[in-house]
Chain A
Amino acid sequence: MRWNAVVGGALVGLVAGVAALSLVWTPHDPAGIDVSRRFLPASPAHWLGTDQVGRDVASMLMAGAQSSIAVALLSVGLGASLGTALGLLAAARGGWVEEAVMRLSDLAFAFPALLFAIMLAAVFGPSLTNAVLAIAFIMVPIFARVSRASANAVWAREFVQAAIAAGRSRLGITIDHVLPNIAAVLMVQATIEFAVAILAEAALSYLGLGVQPPTPSWGRMLSEAQTLLYLAPQLAIWPGLCIMVAVLGFNLMGDGLRDATDPRLRGVGA
């Protein structure tokens, strides 16, 4: 095992574990407002103190992990399924279908997630659904390209040529031979895109285009803390640290998995 896979896996496990735990238990109600207990310092009762309306910061961070993981799961899941389907289709059919899929994904690269979220927010109003859709949208061309390139390599191999000669359908070959052979590459990509999705969710929620109140989210905690920098700067430290730990974890894990599945890249570290 490579050290980055181990450290990354541990950080991801920590964040996922905290998110799972927060489903059943948090030290306090993360949305419990009590103005008489605002701006309390860290103590055994409130591990990281309380915020401007008396909510327990540690509980909010735990519940925020839930939002981050949920948005990342949904958006990467959606974008990866759609993108991989398009990429497999392009590789299986070739010709104008492949050309069309690739030109469409070129086009999608012109829209960063934030621009797409801005368009959706302007038309439908800001919401969590729009944030998930916007992040999923940028994942589609990434997975379409990766799966098409890997699938084309598989299609050129002898056992696939043999399956073609044996009269298997293109759909059958794609499911039985191509998909299993590109699964490892897709897993690595998905792990790395998880980190991208968590960063994007945090930025969108910070700007008010993502997770809506009262659901806790790290990005929104930062935007609330930003108005109180002179009064309580500590409130702006914790949510950012959580984002950093989660993103670092998924990035390291992705690097580690890639090193394990593609020995050629070992030690290059880019």
Chain B
Amino acid sequence: MGLFLLRRLLTLIATLVAVSIVVFLVMNALPGDPALIVLGIDSTPEAQAALREKMGLNEPLALRYLHWAGAALTGDFGISHSFDVPVGRLIAERLPLTLPLAALATVATVTTAIALGVHAAARHGRLADWGVMALSQLGIAVPAFWLAILLVILFAVRLRWLPPGGFPGWDDPVAALRALVLPTVSLALVQSAILARVTRSSVLEVMRLDYARTARAKGLSRSAILRRHVLPNALIPIVTIIGMQIANLVTGTIVIENVFYLPGLGRLIFQSIANRDIFTVQALVMLFAAVVVVTNFLVDVAYALIDPRLKDRV
């Protein structure tokens, strides 16, 4: 286990370094002068030269990368040009929205999907199974931002039960949670559609195995078989898909924050594109990509915990 963890950890570090090089190269080496991008084409050559000096753009590319990556490791992502504050502080200010939203959406996705998937598998071939499968086929085809708009029309415009967007801050926890209901539901419904299908087929597969039949033969109840014998063994493909969906969740959070005008990281990245705030975009893209990579690492470790046979093969 120790050796496996060490090897996976080294791969993780190598991947993060590679990702940071890709992000840095795309944002810096492509034919676009960052000073020109920040200031716009109407700016004077003197102003561009001054900014280039200030941003350290006159140094060689490799040296700039090392400066950026080294500083980033200490949490220093440079100064945002549009907000004129450290990028790190901008990110820290917005985390209290994005993190709870992502966490709520993940919990809602996993519980909904496993409940629906197991329910469908337990009633294989019957109406409930057919209904769950049809709903999930639809759910996969629905864009999360459209579902969000439909929910706003129903619950905010028509019924006026929930706010259509915006975020009041955590000083009033009830109002804050109310503002997060529709964003969470729009993210979770679409994501759980895929996961419910995987759960169903994984549970069905395990239920066909000999030991599940033996458990039934020795007289265990249906729910006991599902809980004690089937679900733990069906978890591996489910965990794989949860890991793969983290990339979707990151993307989804960026989109949904923009649908609901939530002042989180997803909104910040779009403000930064509009403001040509290269350093902020660079830091946020790196952060989001790192979340995807680190989650995949955690999924690999989770595998080894669920199924010790796998740890030698990974």
Residues B270 and A270 in contact, CB atoms below 8 Å apart: no
A107 to B20, CA, bound (A): 11
Residues B26 and A112 in contact, CB atoms below 8 Å apart: no
B19 contact set on A, CB distance < 8 A: 107, 110-111
Residues A115 and B146 in contact, CB atoms below 8 Å apart: no
Binds A, one of B94-102, B103-111, B196-204: B196-204
**Considering only CB atoms, which chain B residue lies closest to A138 in the complex?**
B247
Binds A, one of B65-73, B83-91, B211-219, B253-261: B253-261
Give the residue of B150, B205, B247 whose beta carbon is less than 8 angstroms from that of A240.
B150
- A118-B285, A123-B37, A206-B145 given; A270·B137 CB < 8 A: no
Residues B259 and A203 in contact, CB atoms below 8 Å apart: no
Residues A240 and B289 in contact, CB atoms below 8 Å apart: no
- A119-B27, A122-B281, A230-B157 given; A206·B255 CB < 8 A: yes
Q: Interface majority SS on B: helix, strand, loop or mixed?
A: helix
Cβ-based interface call for B169 (8 A): no
Q: How many A-B contacts at CB < 8 Å in the complex?
A: 135
B282 contact set on A, CB distance < 8 A: 122
**Considering only CB atoms, which chain A residue lies closest to B142 in the complex?**
A244
- B131-151 with Cβ < 8 A to chain A: 133, 137-138, 140-143, 145-146, 149-150
Cβ-based interface call for A197 (8 A): no
**Considering only CB atoms, which chain B residue lies closest to A252 in the complex?**
B137
Q: Interface majority SS on A: helix, strand, loop or mixed?
A: helix
- A231-270 with Cβ < 8 A to chain B: 233, 236-237, 239-240, 243-245, 247-248, 251-252, 268-270
Q: Could you tell me how many residues of chain B have their Cβ less than 8 Å away from some Cβ of chain A?
A: 55
B285 contact set on A, CB distance < 8 A: 115, 118-119
Q: Mark A101-127, 1 if CB is under 8 A from B, else 0.
A: 000001101111111001111111010
Residues B30 and A123 in contact, CB atoms below 8 Å apart: yes
A230 to B15, CA, bound (A): 47
A115 contact set on B, CB distance < 8 A: 250-251, 285, 288-289
Cβ-based interface call for A207 (8 A): yes
Cβ-based interface call for A215 (8 A): no
Cβ-based interface call for A161 (8 A): no
Cβ-based interface call for B263 (8 A): no
A121 to B258, CA, bound (A): 16
Give the residue of B23, B145, B201 whose beta carbon is less than 8 angstroms from that of A119.
B23
Residues A240 and B143 in contact, CB atoms below 8 Å apart: yes
Residues B149 and A229 in contact, CB atoms below 8 Å apart: yes
Distance in Å: Cβ of A110 to nearest Cβ of chain B:
5
- A110-B293, A115-B289 given; A233·B153 CB < 8 A: yes
A199 to B142, CA, bound (A): 8
Give the residue of A110, A119, A243 whose beta carbon is less than 8 angstroms from that of B15.
A110
B142, B143, B258: most-surrounded residue (chain A CB, <10 A) = B143
Cβ-based interface call for A61 (8 A): no
Cβ-based interface call for A212 (8 A): no
A252 to B137, CA, bound (A): 8
B26 contact set on A, CB distance < 8 A: 119-120, 123
Residues B164 and A229 in contact, CB atoms below 8 Å apart: yes
B18 contact set on A, CB distance < 8 A: 107
**Considering only CB atoms, which chain A residue lies closest to B21 in the complex?**
A107
Distance in Å: Cβ of A221 to nearest Cβ of chain B:
11
**Considering only CB atoms, which chain A residue lies closest to B248 in the complex?**
A112
List of 3 A-B pairs having minimum Cβ-Cβ separation, nearest first: A240-B146, A270-B201, A248-B141
Footprint of B on A, CB under 8 Å?
106-107, 109-115, 118-124, 126, 195, 199, 202-203, 206-207, 219, 222, 225-226, 229-230, 233, 236-237, 239-240, 243-245, 247-248, 251-252, 268-270
13 A-B pairs, CB-CB below 8 angstroms? A110-B15, A110-B19, A112-B248, A114-B251, A115-B288, A123-B32, A123-B37, A202-B143, A237-B150, A240-B142, A240-B146, A245-B141, A248-B137
